[in-house]
Amino acid sequence: MSRRALTRIKEIFGLNSDVPPPPRRPPGWIPPQNWPPDHGPAPEALPAAVAPPPAPAAAQPRKEAQHPEITRAEWEARARPRQLLENLLRRMMDACREQIDALLKESVQGPSPYERAAEIAPTQPNALLLRRMQDSQLREVRRLTNMLMKIKRYERRMAAIEEDEKICPPEPDPMADAA
């Protein structure tokens, strides 16, 4: 399916080879001094001033040397589909560019709460059981701590009562002597 689509696109544009065309440069573009060879022709091979961009495909004259197997009538007949395909590709590029910009903004902002939750989520099959065991152990520690604190409070109260009795001994109960 995709091979047929690719073949059809090549037919519409009049392309026969898989070699990419030379990169299109904006008017007046001058390459930097350290221009790598994989980014197009070397600076020496480029003219000082780049020609203005070509006219739209419908008004563009056909170059006989590039496509000798296509007649002028075929070239003119393909102009409209070529323009439609170019418009579709431009829309797709704009949509992709918008998606890339949105993803870039999102990645700069950092992970979302959902992503953080996914990072923290258990990855092992026994992770939930281990978490329950840890929670159970923490509850046990809390119960023991509370019990020790209650014992300590009780001992302090008893010590305070004993000190009060040493300072102020209780008076004898007259009712206890009568009996």
Task: Read off the pLDDT of residues 78-97 as tens digits, 9 standing for 90 and up.
Answer: 888 889 899 999 999 999 99
Last residue of some domain: 87, 113, 139? 113
Q: Phi and psi (nearest 5°) for 119? A: -70, -35
| Dihedral angle computed from the Cα positions of residues 156, 160, 162 and 163, in that order, rounded to the nearest 10 degrees | 130
Q: 109 and 74, same structural domain?
A: yes
Q: Which one, of 59, 66, 80, lies nearest residue 15 by Cα?
A: 66
Q: 146 and 60, same structural domain?
A: no
pLDDT of residue 179: 54
Question: Is residue 149 pLDDT above 60, yes or no?
Answer: yes
What average pLDDT does the segment 43-63 reach? Answer: 49
Residue 122 lies in a domain: no
Number of domains within the chain? 2
Measured between alpha carbons, how far is 175 from 104 in angstroms, rounded to an integer? Answer: 90
Residue 2 lies in a domain: yes
Residue 36 lies in a domain: no
Owner of token pair 């520690």: 141
Q: Phi and psi (nearest 5°) for 169? A: -65, 150
pLDDT of residue 172: 75
Cα angle 17-62-46, degrees, rounded to a multiple of 5: 70
Cα angle 14-38-92, degrees, rounded to a multiple of 5: 50
**Side chain identity, residue 100:** I
pTM score over 0.75: no
Average pLDDT, the chain: 77
Measured between alpha carbons, how far is 137 from 153 in angstroms, rounded to an integer? Answer: 24
Q: 62 and 8, same structural domain?
A: yes
pLDDT of residue 178: 60
Q: Which one, of 55, 45, 57, 47, lies nearest residue 83 by Cα?
A: 57
Residue 19 lies in a domain: no
Q: Which domain holds residue 89?
A: 1-14+55-113
Measured between alpha carbons, how far is 12 from 4 in angstroms, rounded to an integer? Answer: 12
Higher pLDDT, 24 or 159: 159
Higher pLDDT, 105 or 175: 105
What average pLDDT does the segment 13-42 reach? Answer: 67
Q: For the chain, count helices (H), then strands (E).
A: 5, 0
Q: 149 and 88, same structural domain?
A: no
Percent of the chain topping pLDDT 90: 22
Residue 35 lies in a domain: no
